[in-house]
Amino acid sequence: MSAVVTERRDRHGRSDSVSDDRHRETSTGTADAPHADGPYDFREQVGHLLRKTYQRHLAIFQQHAADPNLTAVQFVTLCALRDNGPSSQSELVRLTAVDQGTIRGIIDRLRARELISLTTDPEDRRKVIATLTDGGRTAIAEMVPCAHRITELTLQNLNAAERVALQFLLRKMLGPDTQG
């Protein structure tokens, strides 16, 4: 078992070296998980790091979007309609991984901007179907080059191998029963 020595900085920028034996190598050469009873630094927790990374991505999205009034989740919803055709609210929830309450607001805002239209399902009058309008298709066409740039900027600190690894690990974390 070997200790890992790392340099940490506190919130005032002061540095100190810390011996951290929470990560031990097993006989297979893989690292064990940190001890549950060790120090808890929320800044090193996966949820916190994912949240900060997502906030950074959203800031990049807003800065580089073709339409400054189009949010990332609205763009994803438009793309889901482009890729899957007319869809109900529950289908959009499944396709976008956005919760029911949030998708309703997204649908309302996209309709108000005339990027989608809403009709009643002829087979089930209780069901509302969202469809892309010409304005929605135009918004997607203008946004796609920006979306590629946004992805590049989000991943700019990673080399090619790290990008592939990140995608793989994020999908693995989602689990086998989760759609991409």
Q: How much is the pLDDT for 92? A: 97
Partnered with residue 8 across adjacent β-strands are 16
| Same-domain check for residues 59 and 128 | yes
User: For residue 80, with 0-12 CB atoms within 10 Å meaning exposed, 13-18 middle and 19 or more buried, which class applies?
Assistant: buried
**Which tokens is 118 given?**
């809403």
Q: How much is the pLDDT for 153? A: 98
How far apart CA 35 and CA 50 sit, in angstroms, is: 21
Q: In this structure, is residue 96 part of a structural domain? A: yes
C-beta of residue 109 within 8 angstroms of C-beta of residue 116: no
Q: How many domains does the chain have?
A: 2
C-beta of residue 92 within 8 angstroms of C-beta of residue 74: no
- The alpha-carbon radius of gyration of the chain (Å, integer) is 22
Residue pointed to by tokens 């800031």? 59
Q: Is the pLDDT of residue 168 over 50?
A: yes
Q: In this structure, is residue 10 part of a structural domain? A: yes
| Same-domain check for residues 53 and 81 | yes
pLDDT digits (tens, 9 = 90+) for 12-52: 444 444 434 444 434 444 455 555 678 899 999 999 999 99
Task: Give the closest residue to 80 by CA, choosing from 130, 120, 114.
Answer: 130
**Which tokens is 29 given?**
């050469």
| Same-domain check for residues 108 and 146 | yes
Q: How much is the pLDDT for 17? A: 40
User: Residues with Cβ < 8 Å from 149, sequence gap 6 or more?
Assistant: 64
pLDDT digits (tens, 9 = 90+) for 99-152: 999 999 999 999 999 999 999 988 888 899 999 999 999 999 999 999 999 999
| Same-domain check for residues 36 and 51 | no
Q: In this structure, is residue 61 part of a structural domain? A: yes
Q: How much is the pLDDT for 122? A: 87
Q: How much is the pLDDT for 16? A: 43
| Same-domain check for residues 36 and 83 | no
How far apart CA 173 and CA 101 sit, in angstroms, is: 25
Which residues constitute the domain of residue 17?
Answer: 4-40
Model confidence, pTM: 0.75
| Same-domain check for residues 23 and 51 | no
| Same-domain check for residues 101 and 14 | no
How far apart CA 180 and CA 177 sit, in angstroms, is: 10
